Amino acid sequence: MKANITDITDQNFTQTVLEASQPVLVDFWAPWCGPCKAISPTVDALATDYTGQITVGKCNVDDNPDIPAKYGIRSVPTVVLFREGRVFEQITGLVNRGKLEKVIRNAINGQAATAPFVVH
């Protein structure tokens, strides 16, 4: 895991995500998932570009089944942005950087989510 990416687990989820003082982008992924591997460099780049503004974490759904089940994650990759302990926006599937950045900017700037549950 890269230095600016937090490993999100069933055990640290509440403290790391729900109690965070800034928005948290969580990439729910699995090691066998091709689209997960394809979106990973984008998520890594966003973690670098938005350091200090958001926290970026990755949650391996195979190793941590409780949190994905609680939030209805049935497909990977799914990227969920949490703000103030709640789901701000959820995007499923391989999406481009621009879409993820728009969600991040909306959360940082206090704007409304564009579509809290988008499925591609």
The pLDDT tens digits for 53-84 are 999 999 999 999 999 999 999 999 999 999 99
Residue 38 pLDDT exceeds 90: yes
**Active-site residue identified among 36, 43, 67, 80:** 36
Confidence of residue 107 (pLDDT cuts 50, 70, 90): very high
Whether residue 110 has pLDDT greater than 60: yes
User: Which structural domains are found in the chain, ordered by start?
Assistant: 5-119 (3.40.30.10)
- Asked if residue 118 has pLDDT above 50, the reply is no
State the average pLDDT for the chain. Answer: 92
Instruction: Give catalytic status of residue 59 as yes or no.
Output: no
Closest CA to 83 of 18, 1, 5, 7: 18
Q: For this structure, is 36 an active site residue?
A: yes
Which position among 33, 59, 61, 76 bears the catalytic label?
33
